[in-house]
Amino acid sequence: MKQYIFFLLITLLLFSFSNMGITQTKENIERTQEVTLNGKPITLVGPKLKVGDFAPDFQVVTQASLIDEEMKMMNLNDFYGKIKVISVTPSLDTPVCDLQIHSFNEEASTLPDDVVVINISMDLPFAIHRFCATSGIDKVIALSDYRYASFGTHWGVLIKELRLLTRALFIVDKKNVIRYIEIVPDTTQAPDYERALNALKQLIHIE
C-alpha cells in the first residue's frame, strides 16, 4: 500500500512539473509554416482566426506628436456599429506598407460614413504621427500596437522573431463579426486590394 501511494505521488509530481509554466492560451499559440519573410519561414503568435469568428478585443494607442502628449488607448468597441477595414502593416517606413496605407487612404474618401478604415502597426505613436503628417494620411485611423502587442497576439498576426505585425487585411461587420481575412503569405508582398474591396462592397450592400 505504501509503495502504491509512493508511486502515485511521484506520478502526480511529474505531471505537475511537466505542466508548470507551459499552459498554452490562445494568445501564446505559436504557428509556423503559414507566413514567410523574403521566403524564410517565420512564426506567428496567437490564434488563427476564421471568417465568422467574433473579432477579439484589443488595446492599441493613438498617434501622438509629442513625447509628453497623452496617448489615448482605443479598443474594438470604439468602432462598434461601423464596418471596420483593418489594414495590418509591419512598419509604415517601408515601401509596401507605405503603398498599402496610401491605397486605403484614397479608397476611404469614397466610402460611406458607416465604414472606418484602420491601420495597425508596431510603429511608435510619434513615428506614425510624423508619417501621416508628411504623407497626407487623413482618412485612415493609424494606430500603434507597440505597448502591449494586444492586437498582434489576439488576432494571431504577431511575428515572434521580430515583434512586428505580419501583413494582413481584416474586414469586420458592425456587430464585430469577421467577414474577410487575408494573411499575406509573404509579408514583403502586397495584399490583394481588389479582392478585399470587392468583399467590402458586398458587405456594405448587405448592411
pLDDT in tens, 18-76: 343 333 567 689 999 999 999 999 999 999 999 999 999 999 999 987 665 668 999 99
pTM: 0.86
Say if residue 194's pLDDT is above 80. yes
The single-letter DSSP state of residue 91 is -
Say if residue 146's pLDDT is above 70. yes
> How far is the C-alpha of 149 from the C-alpha of 124, rounded, in Å?
12
pLDDT in tens, 96-138: 999 999 999 999 999 999 999 999 999 999 999 999 999 999 9
* pLDDT in the model for residue 71: 82
- The sign of the torsion formed by the CA atoms of 196, 197, 203, 206 equals negative
Question: Using CA atoms in the order 201, 141, 79, 107, what is the torsion angle rounded to 10 degrees?
Answer: -10
> How far is the C-alpha of 42 from the C-alpha of 34, rounded, in Å?
8
Phi, psi of 48 (to 5 degrees): -90, 105
Contacts of residue 8, Cβ cutoff 8 Å, sequence gap at least 6: none
* pLDDT in the model for residue 138: 96
Active-site amino acid positions: 97
Phi, psi of 72 (to 5 degrees): -80, 135
CATH number of 26-206: 3.40.30.10
> How far is the C-alpha of 125 from the C-alpha of 147, rounded, in Å?
10
pLDDT in tens, 7-17: 433 334 333 43
